[in-house]
Amino acid sequence: MSNTFENMEKAAENEAIKTKDVPNEKLAKSTEIDLDQLSDTAVGDKVKYERESLDGQVVEIKSAKIFSADTSEEPKDSMSGNTQYYSCNFILTYDKQNKDGVDHREYISGLRQFVQRDGSLSEPSFWYDGAENQCAQLWEAVAKVKGIEPKDLTPRQFLGYLNSGVKAKIKLETGKFKGKNWEKNLVEEFVA
């Protein structure tokens, strides 16, 4: 059985490789779909994926991966309207397997690369003072456990800590974005 998160991660890795040296070049993403790759399951028989709750569980973070922005789409306008940005994929993988026998993964929202005046992309932006997105909340949790202010944390320290085999207590968070409900297993706090 194909794993949706694994396929998305591979697509993001492939996209990162393709866009590494051409950050603003539009890339063709359309390819012919092989008939043998299509499902034999009737649309009405498909079961919606139900996220398994890890609420209250302590898990090890197996990996934290970030991927550069997909520039094949148009950039988004910032809330102020003064800048444009692209979203980046940020994937946390936990050591708990789901019912499909693969490790739980969560896409953490809020990681962005901004379009600079010369058209190039900025470094990934993880946090800024006043940010309330999932990436910023995770950034603040790492700064707290390291005993420093969020403004003093570096991206290298952040990802290094997340990839060090650290354990975290998980909370099933819910919310609404652009009219759609979401739920994710997010880090509530880090534990020794």
pLDDT value of position 22: 41
Q: With respect to residue 8, please indicate whether it lies within any of the assigned structural domains.
A: yes
Do 142 and 153 meet the contact criterion of CB atoms below 8 Å apart?
A: yes
Q: With respect to residue 39, please indicate whether it lies within any of the assigned structural domains.
A: no
Q: With respect to residue 59, please indicate whether it lies within any of the assigned structural domains.
A: yes
What sign for the dihedral angle of Cα 16, 163, 169, 153?
Answer: negative
Q: With respect to residue 31, please indicate whether it lies within any of the assigned structural domains.
A: no
Q: With respect to residue 44, please indicate whether it lies within any of the assigned structural domains.
A: no
CB atoms within 10 A of CB 82: 7
Q: Tens-of-pLDDT digits for all 192 residues of the chain? A: 555 556 556 655 554 444 444 444 444 466 787 888 888 888 877 766 678 999 999 999 999 999 999 999 899 998 888 999 999 999 999 999 988 889 999 999 999 999 999 999 999 999 999 999 999 999 999 999 999 999 999 999 999 999 999 999 999 999 888 888 999 999 999 997
pLDDT value of position 33: 79
Do 121 and 24 meet the contact criterion of CB atoms below 8 Å apart?
A: yes
Nearest to 150 by CA among 164, 166, 132: 132
Q: Where are the alpha helices (DSSP H) in 118-178?
A: 134-146, 155-162
| Total domains present in the chain | 1
Range of the domain at 123: 4-24+51-191
Q: With respect to residue 36, please indicate whether it lies within any of the assigned structural domains.
A: no
Q: What is the pTM of this model?
A: 0.76
Nearest to 138 by CA among 96, 172, 186, 104: 186
